[in-house]
Each structure stands twice: as structure tokens, then as C-alpha cells.
Amino acid sequence: MTTETFSNPDLYVNRELSLLEFHRRVLAQARDEALPLLERLRFLCISSSVLDEFFEIRVSGLKQQQAYGAVQRGPDNLSPSEQLRRIAQAALTIIDEQYSVLNEVLLPALNEQNIRFISKEDWSDAQRRWIKRYFNHELAPIMSPIGLDPAHPFPDPLNKSLAFIVNLKGKDAFGRNSGKAIVQAPRALPRVVRLPESCADGPNEFVLLSSIIDAHMDELFPGMHATGVYQFRVTRNSDLFVDEEEVDDLLRALEGELPSRRYGDAVRLEVAQDCSEELESFLMERFHLSADDVYRCNGPVNLMRLATVPELVDRPDLQYPGFTPAVPERIRRANDMFEAVAAGDILLHHPFESFAPVLEFLRQAAKDPQVLSIRQTLYRTGAQSAVVEALTDAASNGKEVVVVIELRARFDEADNIELANHLKSAGAQVVYGVVGHKTHAKMSMVIRREGRALKRYVHLGTGNYHTRTARLYTDYGLFTCDEALGNDVQKVFQQLTALGRAGRLKKLLQSPFTLHKSMLDFIDAEAKNARLGKPARVMAKMNSLVEPQVIQALYRASQAGVKVELIVRGICALRPGVAGVSENIRVRSIVGRFLEHTRVFYFENEGEPRVYLSSADWMGRNFFNRVEICFPVEDEALKRRVVAESFDNYLKDNRQAWELQTDGSYQAATGQTGKRRSAQESLLAALAAS
């Protein structure tokens, strides 16, 4: 098979359509009767949230390409216009399915569990009285309805905010009769309101804020009558643009750009199912959208409103059972983290094992008089961060603290700006990475004086230093004091802060320099071994697989007879099972209780396996436009453990796994009849404390 054959667009799945397939897999969890009911509701809300972000970032980007007449195409050869057309078709199906799941599956099931959402048609007299008081005291004083006329132009609703378009009959006090009005729901109030015991028939009865506003719309327009009230929501372009070559201070530039996210160009309009065509056309015109950009919703126009319900309802029987992440025995038995790491490398597999040792590592470093310096990268950390607290304490205690904060972590920019200012005020040195390259590497290094020598203790990870996501995402973290790895990490930090060359790294692979070439070389080496009749195998687990050269290397390996096992949670542009190209490639996706986030790469290497963990997916942006690290697991016991937990375990999953088909669709991987096996549940049973 020639290189020219690999240019055939039929060999590649469009990345945007592949991402929508992931959204379908998330939504499928909401229908899964084997899952706890409130968790199924969460999955429905997650499916709505990730679709929002898809429109805010991916669709908005395609619309910009279309507007600018972009001619560059991906390996699938689809133009921006063709992608937008196919996205509209797929998204319409997904949104219809979301409301079908809500109305036909989840609401009836919740009702059976005495968790009810009372529509205004079913309010009792007592409920109507209480809701009217709630409206008068909580809503009416802060609402500002806008009747549309030349003196009251169409307002500009915030991104994803709830609003209503209203048809009015009659005249106001000044004799005006515009016929239309816009009402925006107060953002400060909860979208789901619990009815009090005094008027509820059970402990968990709720009304939606939208229903309360709808029922009292006439009261916002005295002397007039609302003849039609329809919810709508506009989704806007939320990508930030900062020309890093032209700004002197990236933090100040981002602070100035953040407000524009709320008022970017409209990319999607959601309207109530019963909205009139006349009002739909009116809104389309105001937001400069076409019919393909409009989605009718058979229920709340923002399903994420329901995400608070599991927290409002005290029903642990309808949620995942709790568990306690384990702490490795060596850490529990050691007097301190440095003693534990000095005894040998330590691997943590979150969330099954605790993130607490990472925090303890930094806390002990902050207090230890022998510690001279701490260096840390932060990408997504959280507004109230225990990591930042430890770094602040270290700086206050006179340690040299250097923190590389990636301000441009999408949707976390504001939090990261706040963290940067907080750390600087405590005396830490804060830098923002490299112009033109996001710093996505996950590294922490402590330099400690031991006798006459300085010793480096390092933590490297596949995920962020974020205590909340450490309980929700699967990630690996490795503690080591290996001299060569520590030296490599120090070189990378110097590169990020001083902008000098890192020099040759002995063990780390780094983007944008060596990671891409190394992955290609490792894959090609397996192909060569297969052609020589030697054992050859590639296994990789990641979030996304898009980069064309890597895909082509995998195709070559498959043609040579290499068995390729890929576990790709989200986007996968590779097509498995294509005759003569990818018969030896199998791709699966796991969607379960925890978000799969580990990046693990395995190469057979003639019986001396190479096993790497990484912050990077196999995407162009990770290889060429970000600072990423990929680090080896060298301890033989830990290497076997990574293979067992990341591949042997996940390749046996027949409960939460989906197999990618040649046409780009996914089918549930039911496997043989018999015992059902979930990889995540197996890890909980094997690793968690309880």
C-alpha cells in the first residue's frame, strides 16, 4: 500500500463528527437502566454541557473558516460548509434524543421515586399561592422586561442565558404597542426551585424557574396580555483571541478579552418546541443565523439546569456508592514523602488511589527546612486550590517557588489569572509558559539538600493538579527521584522560564521537539519487527487520536502484521477494519462513572516493552503547539501494573466499552455471553480502600 493510498479521504473519520459520536455514547448512559437513576440524569446533563462547548468552540471555528473562505481541509477532505451541514444533521438527532430520554425515560422514572417536577398546569391552589409569593419577592424586583420599539432595541442576551420572547396584546401606559418583548431570566437565581413542605405532596417536588416566569409573564407588563411566551437560548463563539506576539503582558490581555466571551457571535439558537415560525424567524434575523442553526427543544432549553437535582435530593440509593481512594502502603508506613519516594518509584492511579499524597508531597516540601526550591506547572487547578495553598506557604517560608501557569486553559482563564495574582503576592515567581505554545505538561519538582548533595524529587502526571477532578478523572501520577529524569525535568523548567534550549533529554520525550518523532519511530520499529517475524504489538490509551502521520504509521504497522489495540475515549479519526489497511487495528472507547483521561503508550520492542505515560494525546496541537511531556515507566513491577490496569483490564470490558466500526459509528462491546465486566469497577474493587 503506497503513501498515496493513505491520502484517500475515505481512510479518515472527520474529527467533528467523531466528537459527536462521543456525545452519543455519553447520552446512551442516560438510558442505561443498570446505572443509578440520578447518575443517569447527570449523564443527560453532561451530554447537554459537552454539546454546548462543541458549538461554542468547534462550530464557531468552522463558521469563521466558512466566513473567511478558508480552503485548507483535513485528511477527510470535508470543507467547512460540508462539515457544518453534517454537524447540523447529527446535532439535531442528538438533541431530539436528549429530550426523548428526558420526557419518556427519566422523568417518569424519577416520578416513580417521588422526585417530581410539577408543571404549571398541575399546580395546586396552595402551590400557586406559594409560587406567586416567590415570584413577587424573589423574581419581579430584579427582572427587567424589554418591550421592543425604536427606543428599546433588541437586547443582547448573554451566552447560554435563559430568555423569553413574548407576544403581547394591548397598550402600555404610554399608548405603545410593540407586540413583542424580551425577558431575561435573572442569572443569580436557581433554575430548579424546591417546593416547601407546606404545599408539597412529598419531600422532593420542584418547579423550574422558567415555569414560574412563564406563569406570571402578564404581571411584568401591566395593562397588557402575553398571548405567547417562548423560551430561547443563544450559544455564542466562546474562543478567545489574543495576539501573543503583539501584547506585552499576557495576563492583562486575557483579562481584557474575557468579557467578550459572553457576547461573541451567535452560532446556535434553541427555542421552545411550540415557538411560532414568525417569532423563530424574528430571532434568527436578530442573531444572523440560518434555519440550520435553530434547534427546537421539547422541554427546558438548557438541560444543564437539572444538574443540581442530584445534590438537592437526599437519595444515596439512586447514586453511585461512595468509595475511599487508597493510599499505597509504602506511603502510609513512611515517616515522610521523601523517605517513601527515595525507596523507589511510586505509581498512583486516580481516582482509585488517592490524590492526597501529591498534596502531602507539596505540603511537606513547604515546611521542610532542607527543601530549597519547588517548581510546578499548573494548567487546571481550581479556584480554591490546596496545591496553590501549599505553594503559597512554601514561598512564605522562604523557599524559591517557581510556577508556570497556563493562563489560556479554556474556560479556566479567570481562575488561573486569580491564582497567578495570588501566588505573585505571596512571593512566588510566576511565568505564563511560552508564546505560541500552551504549557500542558504536568510536572512538580522539589530540590532538597541531603548531606552535601542536592536531590531532585519529581512528580509527573497525565492529569491536572486539581483535587476535584482527581476524584472524577482516571489519571496516573509517578513519584520518582531518578537522577536522569530529575535532570530532564529541571531542563524543561529552565526552558519554560529562561527561554533557553533544554538540551538533550535522556529519558523524557517532549513536545514540540521529540515526542512526535519518537512515537513514529516506535510504531515503525514494531512494523519492522513484524516484517522480520518477531513479536510486535502497539497498545495506546488516550483521549483523542487525530494526527495524520501517526494514523498513517499505525496503518503501515497494521499492514506489516502488527496487532494494534487502541483505547480512545473521544475523537478517533482512524478507521479500523479497512481491507488492506487496518484489519489488525481495533479501537474501543470506555464511557463510565469516571472520565477516562490517562494517556498510556506500549510498544513490544522485541520482548523489552517500552511503556510511557504522557500529558499528550495523539493530536497535532499536542505534538506541535503545546509543551507536553511523555515519561517512561522503568520499574518492572510498575510497568507490569500499568499494562495490566490500562490494557488487559480495559480490553476485557464488556460493560462500558464501545467498539469503533469502519463507518465511524460505535457499537456496544457486549462480548461473549456470561459475566459482565466493567474495567472501572474492577479497578475500584482492586485498588480503592473501600
Cα dihedral across residues 19, 24, 30, 34: positive or negative: negative
Q: Helix, strand, coil proportions of the chain in percent (round to 5)?
A: 40, 20, 35
Helix and strand element counts for the chain (H, E): 22, 27
Which residues are registered as beta bridge partners of 182?
Answer: 146, 165
Contacts of 667 (CB under 8 A, 6+ apart): 658, 659, 661
Fill in the amino acid letter for 288: H
Residue 523 CB partners (closer than 8 Å, separation 6+) = 538, 550, 553, 554, 556, 557, 603
DSSP 8-state assignment for residue 202:
S
- Is residue 597 flagged as an active site residue? no
E strands, 620-665, in order: 626-632, 657-660
Q: Which three cell numbers stand for residue 204?
A: 422532593
Beta carbons within 10 angstroms of residue 166's beta carbon: 25
Burial class of residue 259 in the structure, from the number of CB atoms within 10 Å of its CB (0-12 exposed, 13-18 middle, 19+ buried): exposed
Q: What is the length of the chain?
A: 690
> Which is catalytic among the residues 349, 350, 437, 440?
440
**Shortest CA distance to 463 belongs to which of 473, 471, 478?**
473
Burial 329-349 (b: 16+ CB within 10 A, else e): eebeebeebbebbeeebbbbb
272, 214 contact by CB (below 8 A): no
Give dist(CA 186, CA 174) in Å, integer: 26
Q: Which residues are catalytic?
A: 440
